[in-house]
A = this chain, B = another copy of it.
Amino acid sequence: MNQSDNWWENACESAWPLRFVDINLRSIGQVMFQDKPLSGLFFFVAIGWGSYAADAPEVAIGGLLALIVATLTALWLRVDTAALNAGLYGFNAYLVGIALTTFLALSPLLWVYVVLGGAFSVVATLAMTNLMKTWGIAALTAPFVLITWLLLLSSNAFSALPTDALPLSSLIEPIAPEAANPLQLIDFLEGMVSSISQVFVKGNGIAALLILIGLAIGSIAAAGYALVAALISVIVAHLLGAESQIITAGLVGFNPILTAIAVGTVFNRPGLRCALLTLLATVLTVLVQGAMVVALKPFAIPTLTASFVLVTWLFLLAKPDLAED
């Protein structure tokens, strides 16, 4: 802990409103595994910028509202203080708030959904944490995926929640070959950059830069994993003939980025084996992301971070047998 951390930590100790801010910033940082308020602050500003630039301020507001509701709910439920202070009860809520305001149209009941989603995410986080600790692994963003899928699906049943921003339900069709245009170097760069900001459900260059800085503040290694994974994802997806527009929009790369950081950090002994395992997990996430996009077409909901969760769980579940590495 360096000096500035020390100063902030002391301030938080002595004033509960600062502690409350600290918890919420760390929660935002935990979306990318960083238990650092400054990382969270950069991510928060990135989302703010991204949603302002997209003329959708409701997204930044929705994320913040769900997060605050979640933190208050967690305090009310008297959850484990160490985990709460590390931001582990807020990052799913933050993503729920961002996703609901991105994929549902603005309406009065949308905000009720955001509040309910924030509270629900704490229950789901507690539940899935207890479930997964049987195998010594974390719930990751599974609570976010579960709750957002349920709430987005339910919006089709309720006329007070217009669903204009969701895709249409359709049967599965193989991609048309002409959708996979050759990419220029600039397209690869755009894809990499967008992939980083799509972790927070937005494609925006400045947001991506801010996120990368926040990540580097938390961990240089994590920022490195993110960049390399973004590059690999874009290349692999293009070689496989994925739709060019999806690649450049960053919709292939955000899950592999999360996988690379998670797996790379867990299998963290230097050496060829860990590097290869992380590479394998990253490449597989590109394929699984493709599978999820296809499988969800009839349900008209986005994949969110489901492919990251699935692949990372598999690698973490397999880990005890790889421990001698």
Where the two chains meet, the residues of A that have a C-beta atom closer than 8 Å to any C-beta of B are 76-80, 109, 116, 119-120, 123-124, 126-128, 130-131, 134-135, 149-163, 169-177, 179-180, 237, 239-243, 273, 280, 283-284, 287-288, 290-295, 298-300, 313-318, 320-322, 324-325
Inside 8 A of A300's CB, which chain B residues have their CB? 172
Given the contacts A153-B291, A295-B153, A313-B127, A135 and B135 also touching, CB distance less than 8 Å = no
Contact of A116 among B78, B135, B283 (CB under 8 A): B283
Inside 8 A of A158's CB, which chain B residues have their CB? 175, 237, 240-242, 290
Please state if A290 and B157 are interface contacts (CB–CB under 8 Å).
yes
Inside 8 A of A321's CB, which chain B residues have their CB? 77, 79-80, 126, 130
Inside 8 A of A240's CB, which chain B residues have their CB? 109, 157-161
For A151, A239, A295, A321, the residue with the greatest tally of chain B CB atoms inside 10 Å of its CB is: A321
Closest to A158 in B: B240
Please state if A317 and B131 are interface contacts (CB–CB under 8 Å).
yes
Closest to A295 in B: B153
Closest to A130 in B: B317
Inside 8 A of A123's CB, which chain B residues have their CB? 280, 314-315, 318
Please state if B287 and A116 are interface contacts (CB–CB under 8 Å).
yes
Given the contacts A150-B287, A290-B154, A171 and B174 also touching, CB distance less than 8 Å = no
Whole-angstrom distance between the alpha carbons of A298 and B324 in the complex? Answer: 43
Please state if A239 and B120 are interface contacts (CB–CB under 8 Å).
no
- Copies of this chain in its oligomeric complex: 3
Given the contacts A315-B123, A315-B127, A317-B126, A175 and B153 also touching, CB distance less than 8 Å = no
Please state if A179 and B153 are interface contacts (CB–CB under 8 Å).
no
Inside 8 A of A126's CB, which chain B residues have their CB? 317-318, 321-322
Whole-angstrom distance between the alpha carbons of A266 and B124 in the complex? Answer: 17
Contact of A291 among B124, B154, B176 (CB under 8 A): B154
Contact of A119 among B135, B280, B294 (CB under 8 A): B280
Whole-angstrom distance between the alpha carbons of A273 and B77 in the complex? Answer: 8
Give me 22 A-to-B residue pairs in the complex whose CB atoms sit less than 8 angstroms apart, sorted by A's number: A126-B322, A127-B314, A127-B318, A128-B317, A130-B317, A130-B321, A131-B317, A150-B288, A150-B291, A153-B290, A153-B295, A156-B172, A157-B240, A157-B243, A158-B240, A158-B290, A159-B174, A159-B177, A160-B180, A161-B240, A169-B171, A295-B299
Inside 8 A of A295's CB, which chain B residues have their CB? 153, 299
Whole-angstrom distance between the alpha carbons of A158 and B80 in the complex? Answer: 45
Please state if A159 and B175 are interface contacts (CB–CB under 8 Å).
yes
Contact of A78 among B109, B157, B324 (CB under 8 A): B324
Inside 8 A of A315's CB, which chain B residues have their CB? 123, 127
Closest chain-B Cβ to A277's Cβ sits at a distance in Å of 8
